[in-house]
Amino acid sequence: MDIRSYIKFPLNDREWGKKIVIGGLLSIIPIINLLVLGYYIRCIKLGMSNSYTLPQWNEWGELFNDGLYSFLITIVYLLLPILLSAALFNIPFVGVLLSIVITIFAGMMIFFALASYSVNKNFADAFDFQQVYKKLSEKMDRFIFPYLAFVLLSYIGSSLVLAIPFAGAIAILLVFYVGIVFSHYVGTVY
């Protein structure tokens, strides 16, 4: 599938506008935004099954639990890079460069850990580091550039939210849309 098909897949859903607005609104409410992380897990799962319609906003308890697990998985995977980056940051240039590389790698591991979790909804599967690393290594060539594009688009969208109030409302929807597309892509690659 080409990149345009991935980017446009949410538009295939008849209720795409409503689903994007719901996700955008939920994403700005602390704690409630865990529902959005759960929705991303559903998008990963749909990508794994080669389904190209958006998941429903239903079964709120399941969405919340998946979102909470996603949040915890992300925190655990970020602990080591944060500690290493803090230590390396004092080394001019090389330390900063190493911190960036470590953070990028950890980010990629997070998405494959989330995909591992989503297969059986088993929290422990996300922490089978050897399996997660093996899967990522096998798919690195198909994953690294879309991942970097995702990070860049998310950064731009988040910056717009903070910098320009009116554009921020649109950027919130854009960030959620990018999250849907990338989560689905993670599922197809995994």
Whether the CA torsion 141, 105, 36, 129 is positive or negative: it is positive
Please give the pLDDT value at position 116: 98
Q: How far apart are CA 110 and CA 132, in angstroms?
A: 9
Structure tokens that stand for 53 in this block:
């319609």
* Residue 161 to residues 58, 145, 169, Cα–Cα distance (Å): 27, 24, 7
Q: How far apart are CA 86 and CA 83, in angstroms?
A: 5
Sorted by sequence, the CB contacts under 8 Å of residue 108 that are 6+ apart come out as 136, 140, 143, 144, 147
In the predicted model, what is the mean pLDDT of the chain? Answer: 93
| CA-derived radius of gyration, the chain | 17
- State the pLDDT confidence band at 1, using cuts at 50, 70 and 90: low
pTM of the model: 0.92
pLDDT tens per residue across span 128-155 = 999 999 999 999 999 999 999 999 988 8
Residue 9 has, within 13 A of its CA and on its CB side, a CA count of: 24
**The residue count for the chain:** 190
pLDDT tens per residue across span 14-41 = 999 999 999 999 999 999 999 999 999 9
